Amino acid sequence: MSDENAATNREAVNPRNGDGGADAVVLTGAEIVCECLLHEGVDIVFGYPGGAILPTYDALTKYPQLHHVLTRHEQGASHMADGYARATGKVGVAMATSGPGATNLVTGIATAMMDSSPIVCITGQVPTGAIGSDAFQETDVTGITLPITKHNYLVTSIDELPEVMREAFHIARTGRPGPVLVDIPKDVQIQEAEFVYPTEPIQLAGYSPPKTARARQVAAALELIRDSKRPIILAGHGISMAGANRELAQLAEKAQIPIALTLLGKGAISEHHPLCLGMMGMHGGAEVNHAIQQADLLIALGMRFDDRVTGNLATYARDSRKIHVDIDPSEINKNVTVDVGIVGDLGEVLRQLLDRVERRPNEAWFDRIAEWRADSELREIVRPAEAPQHPAVPEGKLLGAQVIRDLFEFTAGGAITVTDVGQHQMWEAQYYQHERPHSLITSGGLGTMGFGLPAAIGAKMSRPDQEVWAIVGDGGFQMTMMELATAVQERVNVHIAIINNGFLGMVRQWQEFFYEERYNQTPMVNPDFCKLAEAYGIPTVRVTERGQIEEAVNASRAQTAGPTLIDFVVEKEEIVFPMVPAGADLDDMIRRPTPAEFEQQRRGRAVAAKAPEPQTPESTPPESKPSESEEPAAAAALGSRFGV
Amino acid sequence: MAKHILAALVENRPGVLARVANLFRRRSFNIDSLSVGRTQRDEMSRMTIVMESDSAEADRLVKNLYKLVDVVHVDHLHSQPSVVREMALVKVKASSENRREVIQLCDIFRARIIDVSAESLVVEITGEEEKLENFTELVRPFGIVEMVRTGMIALGRGGHTLKDEGFKPNRSRAAARSNVL
């Protein structure tokens, strides 16, 4: 990520020096924090006040250019900062007090760390003299966040404050972006010092993000590409973060290489592009996973071979050579050993490759992929309402997958969607096709339930010109639904779609497949979400049939101020297909049956029902004890019973 | 599996040791020894890390160390000529009858006796790991009361040094800098 975002510097206004002269002026630490935020181009701070950060909150009153958003929980503040950052690439800022304020930020910080999102968290700390004494609301937040920040600081003197603030933003937004925390004791906020914003370039001896790749490695990569017959590009989050979207498309087009996307890679290239295959991995397209397993060359760009995209590493893309480009050297050879590892900025590296890559025919390869895709299309469940439906679709039931597909249609695929975590998130990934970078915001690495609503608020405040939908499950929504009040207070026009199945659906799906349908602690007794939202003054609609979706979505979109909420009451026991069980081979997927297979199974079940009493289930011991080392065969049989 | 000796130049800032130690724990690196001390420059400390691992694991550690903002430079010292030393202080049981024998062993190993009491001697011995191991094995029959080792430290031979160019101490930060690792 470039430093360009910092170029949006506003003119810092000095409250004690109206003429804004360049001379040093005396400011408090709290005022210096505000000045530094302005210099970094910050316009919004998400936070929650408290004792140890009060001097900074007081200073904020002198800086009306810094709009403070009062969240209802500090976790909301860190997720909002994250959503803000992901929607634009600008650094998001969260602020909290010491102790519980700081610890409440932690989930949001870990979320940002896993997905390389640039945020800066500013926390108050007890006065320097009290540190280590277990003072009221003291916690070692730099210690707590050590493994979940890119870097963090405990500021022990006002003299280092301006430099620390500048470094924090620099580190957060450059290289592989990530969260940086600055912990500022209360006395440092109160102290006064001469303030001159440092202008010399930041030089950190131990920090210099790589740029261009070594020529020898580029040559080695080109050679592998030239020799390949079944190449595939794996595009991750790094593409959009590096702004290398055009280069990706050019490389794919020039060399005729199909592209598979990671979850966070969605938006790296338009999903309508003929070379884009769609999402890979646990709930990726079957044809995409087959293509990866059968490829003879993987070109991994800005992705990190997460276990959710590789499945069993021992059998992962066994016959392929591998090229891995990433800005973080520690990702190379971490999970998957590669033939050519290239460390550099993706834009630069792709340009280096583009110069010399050759056009090559891959027709036979595309034909194979097309065959796999044709099979997938047979099994597809979401079809236009007027088309003949897959026989597995239960009559008169609303499916979560249909809701997402219709939302895609009725928003013309143009919204920024922000999801929570679970089944709805995977349906979003499968059925909402994104064209533009930064248009899907989702917690991929950490899988943070409760992320959706606050991140959507942050995204909308970051991109007020864009239509923003928060697509959440009934479980995750209830983890952070107190932020409805924030959305109302700030009049944030975010459209909330609850995919409400009364279950922790994804966990239920695992219980169905791998724990013999023991639905322990997954059914939920929910409030009436419409009444709840109405208590906040939010307009709401409940949808229970597919035919109601269009009107509800249009009604939501017609509201241009403040939040809206749609409660989509969907089929309770729907399954996300395909599914690679955790630890299974990537092409060992649980599939939805084709219509023909489904009919055959239905006849088989009808015959079985008429047959004499079968032996009692108790008489046959279970073949394996339920565990995460799943039984794909048994699960496939289950999957055919629950045909949706 | 082989012994890997890594040398890291780190900024001399509070919390650096915690960051490095946390990295070992977080990424499950198994460390034989870690020694930290000042260098020729006030702003920097030098860590010597010894690990028993395959080279892929050692590479992984180097890359992860580089991700720490306070780590300026890391080198594999086993891959080039280097001098390696470790010091041990060994308190050996030694009565008037067998004191001579212990002293003789110390002479052979060029170890120094730095404290004498009626029942024991404290021996200071410096050398490569193998020498220290051999010495302690030989004095073990007399009875080792207590022992402490520094962990290895190492320097490249001749012209080989850890790069610290490009490192400019930060004026206002220097004030806050301390030798608190």
Q: A239 by DSSP, 3-state: which?
A: helix
- Residue B45 pLDDT greater than 60, yes or no: yes
User: Which residue intervals of chain A bear CATH 3.40.50.970?
Assistant: 3-195, 386-569
Q: Choose the catalytic residue: A137, A256, A433, A466.
A: A137
Query: With the C-alpha atoms ordered B119, B123, B129, B134, is the resulting torsion angle positive or negative?
Result: negative
Tell me, yes or no, if A199 comes closer than 8 A to chain B by beta carbon: no
Q: Is A509 marked active-site?
A: no
Q: Class assignment of domain A215-374?
A: alpha beta
DSSP string, A563-583: -EEEEEE--TT---SSB--TT
Q: Which residues of A touch B176 (CB under 8 A)?
A: 156-157, 159-160
Task: Give the chain B residue whose CA is nearest to the CA of A205.
Answer: B167
Q: How do strand A321-326 and strand A340-343 relate by DSSP bridges?
A: parallel
Closest Cα in chain B, distance from residue A308 (Å): 19
Instruction: Return the closest-CA partner of residue A503 out of A514, A517, A519, A481.
Output: A519
Long-range Cβ contacts of A389-394 (<8 Å, 24+ apart): A390/A592, A390/A595, A390/A598, A390/A643, A391/A595, A391/A598, A391/A599, A391/A602, A391/A643, A392/A592, A392/A593, A392/A595, A392/A598, A392/A643, A392/A644, A393/A644, A394/A571, A394/A644
Cα-to-chain-centroid distance, residue B151: 3
Q: Which residues of B touch A332 (CB under 8 A)?
A: 63
Mutate to test the interface with A, among B66, B69, B168, B180 (most CBs of A within 10 A): B69
Torsion on CA atoms A180, A185, A186, A187, rounded to nearest 10? -130
| Binary contact (A206, B60; C-beta < 8 A) | no
Burial of B75 (C-beta count, 10 Å sphere; 0-12/13-18/19+): buried
Residue with tokens 């990530």: A178
| Binary contact (B63, A159; C-beta < 8 A) | no
pLDDT tens string A241-289: 999 999 999 999 999 999 999 999 999 999 999 999 999 999 999 999 9
- Residue A617 pLDDT greater than 60, yes or no: no
Average pLDDT on A596-607 reads 87
| Binary contact (B71, A329; C-beta < 8 A) | no
Mutate to test the interface with A, among B172, B173, B177, B178 (most CBs of A within 10 A): B172
Q: Mean pLDDT for chain A?
A: 91
- Residue A152 pLDDT greater than 90, yes or no: yes
- Report pLDDT for A641: 39
Tell me, yes or no, if A52 comes closer than 8 A to chain B by beta carbon: no
Cβ–Cβ < 8 Å for A217, A340: yes
Q: What is the pTM of this model?
A: 0.91
Q: Which residues of A touch B67 (CB under 8 A)?
A: 328, 330
User: Using 50, 70 and 90 to split pLDDT, how confident is the model at A633?
Assistant: very low
- Report pLDDT for B19: 95
- Report pLDDT for A392: 87
- Report pLDDT for A361: 84
Q: Is A479 marked active-site?
A: no
- Report pLDDT for A467: 98
Compare CB distances from A205 to B18, B59, B72 and report the shortest one's residue. B72
| Binary contact (A147, B14; C-beta < 8 A) | no
User: Using 50, 70 and 90 to split pLDDT, how confident is the model at A605?
Assistant: confident
Closest Cα in chain A, distance from residue B72 (Å): 4
pLDDT tens string A37-95: 999 999 999 999 999 999 999 999 999 999 999 999 999 999 999 999 999 999 999 99
Average pLDDT on A542-567 reads 97
Tell me, yes or no, if B131 comes closer than 8 A to chain A by beta carbon: no
Closest Cα in chain B, distance from residue A642 (Å): 41
Closest Cα in chain A, distance from residue B45 (Å): 13
Q: Which amino acid is at B91?
A: K
Cβ–Cβ < 8 Å for A456, A469: yes
User: Which residue intervals of chain A bear CATH 3.40.50.1220?
Assistant: 215-374
Mutate to test the interface with A, among B63, B64, B165 (most CBs of A within 10 A): B63
User: Using 50, 70 and 90 to split pLDDT, how confident is the model at B175?
Assistant: very low
Average pLDDT on A561-573 reads 97
- Report pLDDT for B173: 52
DSSP single-letter state for residue B45 = E
Average pLDDT on A466-478 reads 98
Lowest mean pLDDT among A77-81, A452-456, B93-97: B93-97
| Binary contact (B175, A334; C-beta < 8 A) | no
Q: What ipTM, to 2 d.p.?
A: 0.88
The domain made up of A3-195 has a fold known as Rossmann fold (3.40.50)
- Report pLDDT for B1: 83
Cβ–Cβ < 8 Å for A79, A480: yes
On whether the A386-569 domain is CATH 3.40.1080.10, my answer is no
pLDDT tens string A323-370: 999 999 999 999 999 999 999 999 999 999 999 998 888 899 999 999
Q: A410 by DSSP, 3-state: which?
A: helix
Q: Which residues of B touch A204 (CB under 8 A)?
A: 69
Q: Which residues of B touch A328 (CB under 8 A)?
A: 67
